[in-house]
């Protein structure tokens, strides 16, 4: 019997134990290349130690025993022959440490997957307090990052723990540090990508986008402006992700209070995968 896998699904925030390979799991869970094309996901293969998670979940205050639930699901797959068994049905992204990620796949609605290159750590963060009044340059200096020669608004698509489009004068590393520490609004962890800010990009909130872009362009001390809340992932094509074509560094960023990783697209992407929905 194959070794079970433990798969985190983003943006849904579910962890599943499965006997499937990642490609077979994606096809098993796919809604199919039907009319609506709203079944994209990011599948993360998590660390295992036998039939138990190879990491410690972050404390959630005791409302559930995440480790025991995960062991039960893995046992059901390994010993009872189940093909899939839900371990955590919600909020799994925020309680799973980034260090537990082993491999990452982007899955289209059709169930076709593309494995990203191995993640690499691009920043470690000092344990210092954040003030909502800190300017972008002050954030860079506080975390030991070089201050950019020029700041221009960047468009980020946050995938988890919530979906939203955000304009920001912060670099990706600065944005992670700020997002997981800003008073009253902090995420425990955040997964996002940068999008190309191309003229004519189709946004339902075009007027909001243009107003926010003007404000951030004119005021370099401004940090972020939210453009859209809600389902963004299914409405933005992968070629719009910075790093998809390798002309500019980028990909899938994920970070928490300790560190940040970048998972990049492979240099060769099959024509078949690009054609799928």
Structure confidence at residue 35 (pLDDT): 47
Q: What are phi and psi of 174, to 5 degrees?
A: -65, -40
The strands making up 113-115's β-sheet, listed across from edge to edge, are 84-88, 14-18, 5-10, 41-46, 101-107, 113-115
Q: What are phi and psi of 61, to 5 degrees?
A: 85, 5
Structure confidence at residue 37 (pLDDT): 56
pTM for the whole structure: 0.89
Structure confidence at residue 208 (pLDDT): 63
The answer to whether residues 29 and 97 touch, using CB atoms and an 8 Å cutoff, is: no
Structure confidence at residue 200 (pLDDT): 44
Q: What are the DSSP calls for the chain, one per residue?
A: -PPPEEEEEETTTEEEEESS-HHHHHHHH---S-SS----EEEEEEPEETTEESSPPPP-TTS--HHHHHHHHHHHHHHH--SEEEEE-SSHHHHS-GGGEEEEEEE-TTS-EEEPPPPEEEEE-------TT--HHHHHHHTTPPPPSS---EEEEEEESS-EEEEESS-HHHHHHHHTTSTTT--SEEEEEEE---TT---TTHHHHHHHHHHHHH-TT--EEEEEES--GGGS-GGGBTTSSSSSS--EEEEESSEEEEEPPPS---HHHHH--
Q: Which residues of the chain have pLDDT under 50?
A: 34-35, 199-200
Structure confidence at residue 199 (pLDDT): 43
Structure confidence at residue 205 (pLDDT): 58
């Amino acid at each position: 019997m194959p070794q079970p896998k433990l798969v985190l699904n983003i943006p849904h925030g579910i962890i599943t134990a499965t006997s499937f390979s990642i490609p077979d799991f994606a096809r098993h869970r796919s809604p199919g290349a039907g009319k609506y094309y709203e079944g994209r996901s990011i599948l993360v293969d998590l660390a295992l130690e036998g039939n138990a998670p190879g990491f410690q979940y972050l404390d959630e205050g005791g409302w559930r025993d995440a480790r025991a639930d995960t062991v039960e699901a893995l046992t059901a797959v390994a010993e009872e022959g189940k093909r899939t068994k839900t371990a955590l049905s919600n909020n799994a992204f925020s309680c799973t440490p980034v260090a537990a990620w082993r491999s990452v796949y982007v899955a289209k609605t059709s169930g076709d997957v593309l494995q990203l290159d191995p993640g690499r750590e691009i920043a470690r963060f000092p344990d210092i307090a954040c003030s909502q009044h800190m300017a972008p340059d002050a954030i860079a200096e506080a975390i030991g990052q070089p201050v950019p020669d020029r700041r221009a608004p960047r468009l980020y698509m946050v995938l988890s723990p919530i979906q939203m489009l955000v304009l920001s004068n912060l670099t990706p590393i600065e944005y992670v540090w700020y997002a997981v520490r800003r008073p009253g609004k902090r995420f425990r962890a955040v997964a996002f990508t940068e999008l190309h800010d191309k003229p004519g990009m189709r946004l339902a909130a075009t007027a909001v986008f243009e107003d926010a872009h003007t404000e951030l362009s004119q005021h370099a001390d401004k940090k972020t402006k939210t453009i859209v809340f809600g389902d963004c992932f299914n409405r933005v094509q992968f070629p719009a992700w910075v790093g998809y074509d390798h002309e500019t560094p980028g990909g899938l960023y994920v970070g928490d209070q300790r560190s940040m990783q970048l998972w990049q697209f492979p240099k060769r992407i099959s024509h078949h995968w690009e054609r799928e929905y």
